[in-house]
């Protein structure tokens, strides 16, 4: 019989007090008029799963996530016939049968983003932030100033990073 010895459980404490303590300031964002193609490149290049969509004034008007993109792709991808190979092409004409050409999607982000914007202000107590994220079943909340301008974002990972075992410092 193998006995497993484990350390006694320790309490985990959330170090942050307010949304401002845990938010990532000055988040990257997408303009509502860029194309889906540009938005995908933006997210992939930054290794992020979603970003706020802002209007010209910098106010959040939606969010674009990987899920939004996958749903759109499943419903909207259009393939076209391969173009005729021009004379002098380095590829033999017979190879074109094996290629699939996809039309670049120029749909604007505003047409496929999730238009719901869940926001808190910088002074919102952290427990209210956590409750909202759970109740709304979202992975991120936006932090806005008194004028509604985007100043930060809080992700579930931001909250986890603030958790520490009781009695330990950062």
> What is the per-residue pLDDT across 90-123, written as a single tens digit (0 to 9) for each?
666 666 666 665 667 788 999 999 998 899 999 9
Give the pLDDT of residue 85: 45
Distance in angstroms (rounded) separating the CA atoms of residues 164 and 107: 43
The ranges assigned to domains in the chain are 14-165
For domain 14-165, is the CATH number 1.10.540.10? no
CA-closest candidate to residue 60, choices 157, 162, 138, 130: 138
Cα 14 to chain centroid, rounded:
24
Give the pLDDT of residue 22: 94
Give the pLDDT of residue 93: 64
Low-confidence ranges of the chain (pLDDT < 70): 1-5, 8, 77-103, 165-170
Give the pLDDT of residue 57: 87
Four-CA torsion 127, 132, 134, 137, nearest 10 degrees:
-160
The CA distances from residue 57 to 13, 50, 53, 153, in Å, are 38, 20, 11, 17
Give the pLDDT of residue 46: 95
Strand partners, 14: 163
Give the pLDDT of residue 75: 76
């Amino acid at each position: 019989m193998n006995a497993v010895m484990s350390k006694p459980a320790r309490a985990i404490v959330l170090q942050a007090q307010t949304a401002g303590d845990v938010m990532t300031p000055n988040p990257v964002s997408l303009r509502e008029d860029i194309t889906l193609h540009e938005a995908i490149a933006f997210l992939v290049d930054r290794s992020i799963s979603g970003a706020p969509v802002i209007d010209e004034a910098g106010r959040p008007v939606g969010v674009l996530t990987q899920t939004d993109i996958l749903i759109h792709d499943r419903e909207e991808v259009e393939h076209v016939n391969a173009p005729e190979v021009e004379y002098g092409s380095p590829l033999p004409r017979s190879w074109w049968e094996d290629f699939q050409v996809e039309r670049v999607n120029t749909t604007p982000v505003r047409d496929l983003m999730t238009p719901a914007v869940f926001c808190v202000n910088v002074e919102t107590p952290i427990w209210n932030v956590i409750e909202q994220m759970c109740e709304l079943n979202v992975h991120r909340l936006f932090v806005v100033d008194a004028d509604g301008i985007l100043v930060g974002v809080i992700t579930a990972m931001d909250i986890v990073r603030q958790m520490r075992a009781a009695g330990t410092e950062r």
